Amino acid sequence: MRLPWPRSLFSRLMLIWLTGIALVLAVSFALFVGERDRVGRDALFEGIAQEIASTADVLDRLEAGERAKWIDELGRRRLRLSLRPLPDRLRPLPSNHPLLPALKGAMPEREIALYAHHRGDGPHPALLVSVSLADGTPLNIRLPGIPPTPVMHTPPPGQLISALLALLVGVSLLTWFSVRIATRPLSRMSAAARALGEDPERAPMSTRGPTEVAQAATAFNQMQQRIIEHVRERTRILAAISHDLQTPITRLRLRAEMVDDDGLRTKIQSDLDAMQTLIKEGLAYARSMEASKTTQPIDLNRLLEALRDDATDMGWTVHLEGHASTPFSGHPNALRRALWNLIENGVKFGDHVDVEITEHADRYEIGIRDHGPGLAAEEQEKVFEAFYRTEASRNRETGGTGLGLAIARNLLRAQRGEVRLGNHPGGGLMAIVSLPK
């Protein structure tokens, strides 16, 4: 059965920190128990070494004939003394037995050896200590309660440092994990906010996660929906006004024909043409805000060749270079309109235009360069705002309505593309269109 994961972010962090503290306490307790065992073992071996040293000193002061009578009296509960020579079959124990340092510390002048001694009264071998008395007589002490198998020494400082480092790494990883869990929903919300600025029609955020995150995601989705509705309402108003203005303009054209003054009639018709152009651009801008969701493969090479041919038919000079090896999945009419707006803008301000397509691992880049005066850096982003026109483009012949670049950016962003402007090192303005593969 799977245990339920806490829903609250606070509860999750509390659970993680409590688990971490429990792990730290467990490791600390294990280290404490190990150190306590080491201290207890060292104290035991020190006591045994002192008893053996005291016994050997007493036997050194006795005559050789009197020692046998005192052997049993000098023996203690954990010492079994003998003055008989050891059998030849006994093999010395390794020098890393933890009792040996205590014995050498208590009797530095004596020869000491450790053996595993088997007797018939016990199933397991006992530890046997052999000490040389002053006259060379061997004193053998059997320790029944201590196993002859060497016990590992206390971990050296290097191992202790390694254990502390491992504990530090564990706590650090736990901290990183907890902080990541706490901040990952915020990172997702930050990414969603950035994506919302580029594409208001993006999919809503997932509301999975802790309670606080789910509530914030729900509020974010509601805000996104209100923004989408606001943009759609504004677009509908713009489209309705642009559409409704066409009827009175048509009436004004008819009435202008009744004006006898040729000069006045020409000026009126010119003003009506400007109004008609503004209405058409307004409708185009409104439609660019509501891009189609369906896509299809587009041959970028053929599309750019068709645009070049159309420009040539209009008397424009457009050079095309580069090649795209694979089709781009997008909206053909929208992409054609966006690229045409950029080419037309370049022809207006730069005489002739160079178009070059470059293929990268993850995207296509279409560079549209004119040979005009370029554009100030502070205006290279402003010109994408609706109805914005630079000071150099406010006449009717070249200025237009200020919607061409805004329409192009909307149409490109609707198919995950982007466009930016920059002055070319060789002169003129360069529009770089990025389209994802």
Q: pLDDT digits over 272-323, tens only?
A: 887 877 777 767 766 666 655 678 899 999 999 999 999 999 999 999 999 9
Candidate from 2-16, 271-285, 330-344, 373-387 with smallest mean pLDDT: 2-16
Tens-digit pLDDT profile for residues 312-350: 999 999 999 999 999 999 888 889 989 999 999 899 888
CA atoms within 13 A on the CB side of 148: 20
Reported as a pLDDT band with limits 50, 70 and 90, residue 236 is confident
CA distance 360 to 275: 42
- Estimate the crossing angle of helix 246-256 against helix 211-244, to 10 degrees: 20
pLDDT at 156: 57
Check: pTM over 0.85? Answer yes or no.
no
CA distance 37 to 310: 92
Mean pLDDT, rounded, for 196-206: 74
Contact 286, 238 (CB under 8 A): yes
Q: Which two tokens stand for residue 109?
A: 């002048």
SS3 351: coil
CA distance 245 to 241: 6
Q: Domain 10-143 is in which class?
A: alpha beta
- Residue with the bigger pLDDT between 97 and 408: it is 408
CA distance 177 to 181: 6
SS3 25: helix
* Domain boundaries, given as residue ranges, for the chain: 10-143, 157-235, 294-436
Tens-digit pLDDT profile for residues 407-429: 888 888 888 899 999 999 888 99
**What is the residue whose two structure tokens read 């005559």?**
63
Contact 117, 46 (CB under 8 A): no
Contact 349, 428 (CB under 8 A): no
Position 180: which residue type? R
Contact 332, 306 (CB under 8 A): no
Assigned fold of 294-436: Heat Shock Protein 90 (3.30.565)
Q: Which two tokens stand for residue 167?
A: 């504990």
Say which DSSP state 95 is in: T
Contact 414, 334 (CB under 8 A): yes
Dihedral, CA atoms, 12, 14, 18, 24, nearest 10 degrees? 90
pLDDT at 300: 94
CA distance 109 to 305: 104
Q: What is the chain's Cα-based Rg?
A: 47
All residues at 6 or more sequence positions from 281 whose CB lies less than 8 Å from its CB, including other chains: 400, 401, 403, 404, 407
- Would residue 420 be called left, alpha or beta, if left means φ above 0 and alpha means ψ between -120 and 50 degrees? beta
CA atoms within 13 A on the CB side of 121: 3
- Residue with the bigger pLDDT between 203 and 220: it is 220
Closest C-alpha to 113, from 131, 135, 87: 131
**Pairing verdict, β 296-298 and 80-82:** unpaired
CA distance 347 to 19: 68
Greatest mean pLDDT among 187-191, 265-269, 371-375, 417-421: 417-421
CA distance 324 to 437: 11
